[in-house]
Chains A and B, each alone.
Chain A
């Protein structure tokens, strides 16, 4: 009975895994297929011969630069967001000042405002400031912390025993010392979680870079991939090569931090 039940569960899981993984497999296969073969044979046919032309063609489409720009944007936002969110969350969790809780809830309430609502005002602000199509336009809206990050960190910081912080204070630690020596080491799981969420979401960010940049100078990966589709040709073989390249860093992150990602689901309740 148990054996047959397990078999049914495994069969179900295998089917689900196939349904999830086959699109990735097809994408990978297509990325090694020549445009001619893709257009003249069934899209499911095996590449014969396999070609690297699509990957090499990405260079002509400005993909190398887009990878560097995306990596730089992600790194700056990641660093900025972690730093500023930690400071803000510590202030909201552990420091006493008038109106602290009211300010916190007003700030967190902005989580309810969809990002699309702020696109036009943000665009106008950056255009007026002469920052359209610049690196600053890509990073400034995201690098000073986010309501979600501050909320997540604040809740975690509040679970750190007050006695620990008091003890540090009695030893003469300043606020910065407390954050660096006590709070940060005690908050490693949530910091890794936040870093992963930030890195993945910024790596995949599409709408804001599409709106605020034009041309190749500050083109990010997602916009470059969408740009591969021309007016009369969808160029699927190139698009699949581009998406394969784009997900490699995310796969590396997953392999390196797999344990923490599972932990982060427990910490944040995210799925």
Chain B
């Protein structure tokens, strides 16, 4: 037998290495799927909630041994981009999380299961009414409510309030108004804002260029800040799916907020907050901000990290009352799923008290199944935190959470105008008019 040539051996060795590498890849992707089981995949963006879901679906699998649920956690930063391509390309999961801002497009294009038809019209009675309303479009519910953000409230640093001689109970009666005689928020914020030399913002020697402690986060923040101001001024942000924030009440609200930043200097400049959504929260956590208006989504971070005494107070009242936004997350069924019956069983479980209550027990999120919520309250009560301001505010009027089929495109278009407006480079009425035109034009495209 003749010895193979070196060149043949060389190419053979390359091929062998390639085979070994591809073999490793095959092993790495090896499926643990057991025969005879239907696999239902659920896509979501939150790792903490995914851990709670794993426990929930373990319980589900014990009762439904023929169905296996697998979670697919996709980062929020790319969630809606990849979901869109995957739904269009037929590769989306059987069940996927949707937020109010993004669901309309999928509903209008027949990509989602009609929850009323799938689980029965009475199923929605067990769920948080505000989340049911958010995911109802043209009389049809398009998702099984999973989580609610509750309302917006104000976190306060009790140590800084003490130092300024402010009683936390005063915060619940705060009122903002363009009329200085009726406005109690602005004077209080001036007392809570201090420069490096210790001068308060309501004293003549205050130097706004060297602020050591901010009063408040009057930032360019849709959910936490300005939507609530627009609502409490009696204005609207959207009319149906159209952007409609160019109205006198919204002008009043934004002029007040921009004034807090650029005239009164009681809130951090927009150059710090426009591009950094965490800036205000971190200033609060660093003990450099007295009042921080936000939602329950920051509760766990503040409870775990704040090195000072803190509490939660009600949202300030505006000229037309105390108005908050509330947001929710729903699990939508993929209309193109190859196993609709298993999807129905999984959705039914996710919308049940037993299936949903796992999500609230760690205190990170509020279950949207009403009967599953006590676990959330029990968690925070055990930690000595009163979370009722986030819920009490929803007893009053609300401003609807923004959404619509082209909300994302419209919101992207309005952002640069709002950035300039909060920076004080453009006047408020002109900015709102231009931003509204740009947002609607982008949404129409």
Query: Whole-angstrom distance between the alpha carbons of A199 and B297 in the complex?
Result: 40
Which residues of the partner chain B approach A72 to less than 8 Å between Cβ atoms?
21, 24-25, 28
Give the interface SS of chain B, mostly helix, strand, loop or mixed: helix
The one of B18, B90, B93 in contact with A76, judged by C-beta atoms closer than 8 angstroms, is B18
Question: Which residues of chain B (290-315) have a CB below 8 Å from chain A?
Answer: 297-298, 301, 304-307
Question: Which residues of chain B (15-46) have a CB below 8 Å from chain A?
Answer: 17-18, 21-22, 24-26, 28-29, 43, 45-46
15 A-B residue contacts at CB 8 Å? A39-B301, A40-B282, A72-B21, A76-B18, A76-B22, A135-B26, A135-B28, A180-B10, A214-B43, A214-B86, A214-B91, A227-B77, A229-B77, A230-B45, A231-B76
Which residues of the partner chain A approach B263 to less than 8 Å between Cβ atoms?
none
Decide: A36 near B305, CB < 8 A? Known: A76-B18, A214-B43.
yes
Question: Which residues of chain A (88-131) have a CB below 8 Å from chain B?
Answer: 123-124, 127
Query: Whole-angstrom distance between the alpha carbons of A100 and B154 in the complex?
Result: 72
Query: Whole-angstrom distance between the alpha carbons of A133 and B75 in the complex?
Result: 16
Decide: A69 near B74, CB < 8 A? Known: A39-B282, A176-B8, A232-B298.
no
Which of A69, A218, A227 has the most chain B CB atoms closer than 10 A to its own CB? A227
Distance (whole angstroms) from the CB of B442 to the closest CB of chain A: 20
Which residues of the partner chain A approach B46 to less than 8 Å between Cβ atoms?
230-231
Cross-chain contact A214 with B82 (CB below 8 angstroms) = yes
Cross-chain contact A127 with B22 (CB below 8 angstroms) = no
Cross-chain contact B25 with A211 (CB below 8 angstroms) = no
The one of A40, A41, A135, A215 in contact with B72, judged by C-beta atoms closer than 8 angstroms, is A215
Give the interface SS of chain A, mostly helix, strand, loop or mixed: helix
Check B271 for interface membership: any CB of A closer than 8 A.
no
Check A29 for interface membership: any CB of B closer than 8 A.
no
Check B85 for interface membership: any CB of A closer than 8 A.
yes
What range describes how many residues of A lie at the interface? 35 or more
Cross-chain contact A132 with B47 (CB below 8 angstroms) = no
Check A28 for interface membership: any CB of B closer than 8 A.
no
Query: Whole-angstrom distance between the alpha carbons of A210 and B81 in the complex?
Result: 10
Which residues of the partner chain B approach A132 to less than 8 Å between Cβ atoms?
86, 89, 91
7 A-B pairs with least C-beta separation: A227-B75, A127-B89, A215-B72, A180-B7, A231-B76, A135-B25, A132-B91
Cross-chain contact A231 with B297 (CB below 8 angstroms) = yes
The one of A39, A42, A230 in contact with B75, judged by C-beta atoms closer than 8 angstroms, is A230
Which residues of the partner chain B approach A76 to less than 8 Å between Cβ atoms?
18, 21-22, 25
The one of B29, B81, B305 in contact with A39, judged by C-beta atoms closer than 8 angstroms, is B305
Cross-chain contact A230 with B76 (CB below 8 angstroms) = yes
Check B383 for interface membership: any CB of A closer than 8 A.
no
Query: Whole-angstrom distance between the alpha carbons of A80 and B285 in the complex?
Result: 51
